[in-house]
Amino acid sequence: MQTGAKVAPVTGGNRGIGFETARQLAEKGLAVLLASRNLEEAEHAAAILEDEGLTTVSPVKLDITNSANRDAVSQLIARQFGQLDVLLNNAGVATPEGTGTVIDRLTSGTSLEELRLVFETNGFAVLLLTGQMLSLLRKSSGARIVNVSSHLGSLTLHARNDQAVAYTKRYACNASKAALNLFTIQLAQELEGTNIKVNSIHPGWVKTRLGTDAAPL
């Protein structure tokens, strides 16, 4: 691992948008912790990037809903780097496995199980992981927290049934992204005047395992 480089863990970095983000951060010379809830998948993804000549990527096991995993990664960063420069909150879910696609319109039939599972990853775990990393982010000269969200969290678009979000009314997923956007706003307000900037991003509907082949990008 390159010493002196800015440090950036990417959650859900083993595939899709997270994997490409890890690649592009490594291309810029950052020390990337490519995180996945499955260590073997993280190791496989990191090996692909190493074959491309990107040697500043290290695989780590991080199920963001697991407190022991969060503790282990924060301790690893503190021990090896002493600070954190970029926290890329990319890991997320659209639906629990085996419950259909995000295209289903099931607002009134949304189950408590689905709400719990989606919010656990997209909302609660992001808040807990970010809070745990704040002390390390404060040690950076210019830190960034980036939450990978979606325009599916826009109340304005849903209220006017905008075509951009008409393809999905999956309540649990959309509500969790709205909560993530509010978390971003309030955390940015909390950290105003510090060395930490906080943003949500809408990367678009991309052809990934989560986005499916129906995605246009």
**Buried b or exposed e, range 102-122, using 16+ CB within 10 angstroms:** beeeeeeeeeeebeebbbebb
**Of these residues, 82, 167, 195, 207, which one is catalytic?**
167
DSSP H helices, the chain, are: 16-27, 39-51, 67-80, 112-119, 125-137, 155-159, 171-190
Q: At 75, list the tokens.
A: 């301790």
CA distance 113 to 206: 26
* Chain centroid, CA 125 distance in Å: 10
CB 140 within 8 A of CB 197: no
Residue 19 in 3-state DSSP? helix
Collapsing DSSP to helix, strand or coil, 209 comes out as coil
Eight-class DSSP state of 153: G
Does 167 participate in catalysis according to the annotation? yes
Using CA atoms, how far apart are residues 203 and 118, in angstroms rounded to an integer? 19
CB-side exposure of 25: number of CA atoms within 13 Å?
28
Distance CA 89, CA 78 (A): 18
**Catalytic residue positions?**
167
